């Protein structure tokens, strides 16, 4: 008959096995997973967003990009071009493939030739990539957008914040190409507002810019704030952002003023495009410490009442003293007459 281990001994053995598994097996798996990670950096993350990558229909141009292997192992990297659109947040690139790519009004990928399409990179080595842009003769004027993406053939891609634009385990460079010609440029400001009433700052503001142009815009914006008497008290410069064609982006910020003295008017001036188009929006708001003002008014009222009371008391005393003096003078005069 086999001996039966006590229940406590069985429990101890189970706990011991769990500890051994956690201490040996899990770290080994974690090390293997870390070893499989690949770190790639696309240089530069964006090209042409300043509007300088402008070509005519039928024109060709070549640009040079780089991809860097920041891993500690040899990596084979495949490079290719793909069209993209932006997500609802106005900034996240969404790749287009298949029919969606073919029907894209802003397509650019089919005009690009990427060479070499594959690089073998040693640890911490950078590879050069040439991209030829061949604009068709019938290309529509306006903005055309694509991403030159880089993807390792093996291993998972490690994300590095700010190193490149990433989509679906790929990193790449966003290309902004403008085809010269008659380009419609139109944009609008919507929902420009400050918080209607605040006693103390900072005062938040927000607005939305809608781009109805055939090309992306990067508007320059100033918010001038005027007081009750029409005098400008400050200027705020919101951080600019790229806005793709027929997309909108939200902007927000705050006026850092802490104390205010009443109603204010804010004027938002936005300029954009090659022709310097200007759009203006206005709104108004209050920045006033109402409770403090009420307390000051109450204090002033109390001081006025106290002053009036004291003044009346002094006048009353003077009147009483004058009457008493007159009475004494009358008595003295009567005494003289009696003599």
Rounded distance, CA 254 to CA 14, Å?
59
Between 166 and 142, whose confidence is greater? 142
Query: Boundaries of CATH 2.60.40.10 in the chain?
Result: 37-179, 187-290
Q: What value, to the nearest 5°, has the Cα angle with vertex 182 and ends 175 and 132?
A: 30
Q: Count of CB atoms within 10 A of residue 91's CB?
A: 14
Rounded distance, CA 171 to CA 67, Å?
9
Mean local confidence (pLDDT), 68-96: 83
Residue 100 has pLDDT above 60, yes or no: no
Q: Indicate the average pLDDT of the chain.
A: 83
Q: For 157-208, what is each residue's pLDDT tens digit?
A: 555 444 445 444 688 999 999 999 999 999 999 999 999 999 998 999 999 9
The pLDDT value given to residue 79: 93
Indicate the pTM of the whole model. Answer: 0.71
Mean local confidence (pLDDT), 300-320: 79
The pLDDT value given to residue 36: 57
Q: For 215-268, what is each residue's pLDDT tens digit?
A: 999 999 999 999 999 999 999 999 998 899 999 999 999 999 999 988 999 999
Rounded distance, CA 209 to CA 269, Å?
12
Q: For 271-292, what is each residue's pLDDT tens digit?
A: 998 888 999 999 999 999 877 7
CATH of 37-179, one of 1.10.3480.10, 2.60.40.10, 3.40.630.20, 3.30.200.190: 2.60.40.10
According to CATH, the superfamily of the domain at 187-290 is: Immunoglobulins (2.60.40.10)
């Amino acid at each position: 008959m086999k001996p039966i281990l006590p229940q406590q001994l069985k429990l101890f053995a189970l706990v011991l096995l769990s500890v051994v598994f956690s201490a040996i097996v899990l770290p080994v798996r974690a090390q293997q997973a870390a070893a499989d990670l690949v770190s790639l950096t696309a240089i530069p993350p964006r090209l042409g967003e300043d509007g300088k990558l402008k070509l005519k229909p039928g024109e060709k141009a070549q640009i040079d990009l780089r991809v860097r292997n920041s891993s500690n192992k040899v990596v084979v990297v495949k490079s290719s071009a793909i069209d993209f659109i932006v997500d609802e947040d106005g900034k996240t690139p969404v790749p287009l493939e298949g029919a969606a790519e073919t029907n894209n009004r802003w397509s650019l990928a089919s005009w690009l030739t990427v060479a070499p399409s594959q690089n073998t990179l040693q640890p911490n080595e950078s590879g050069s990539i040439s991209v030829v842009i061949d604009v068709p003769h019938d290309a529509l004027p306006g903005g055309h957008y694509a991403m030159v993406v880089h993807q390792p053939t093996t291993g998972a891609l490690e994300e590095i914040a700010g190193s490149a634009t990433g989509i679906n385990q790929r990193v790449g460079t966003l290309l902004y190409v403008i085809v010269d010609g008659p380009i419609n440029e139109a944009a609008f400001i919507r929902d420009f507002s400050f918080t209607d009433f605040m006693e103390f700052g900072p005062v938040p503001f927000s607005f939305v810019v809608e781009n109805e142009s055939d090309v992306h815009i990067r508007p320059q914006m100033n918010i001038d704030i005027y007081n009750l008497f029409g005098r400008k008290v400050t200027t705020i410069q919101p951080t600019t952002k790229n806005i793709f064609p027929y997309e909108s982006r939200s902007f927000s910020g705050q006026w850092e003023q802490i104390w205010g003295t009443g109603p204010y008017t804010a004027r938002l001036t936005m300029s954009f495009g090659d022709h310097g188009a200007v759009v203006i929006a206005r709104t108004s708001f209050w920045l006033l410490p109402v409770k403090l003002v009420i307390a000051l008014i109450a204090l002033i009222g109390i001081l006025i009442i106290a002053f009036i009371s004291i003044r009346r008391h002094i006048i009353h005393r003077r009147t009483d003293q004058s009457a008493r003096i007159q009475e004494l003078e009358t008595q003295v005069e009567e005494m003289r007459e009696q003599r």
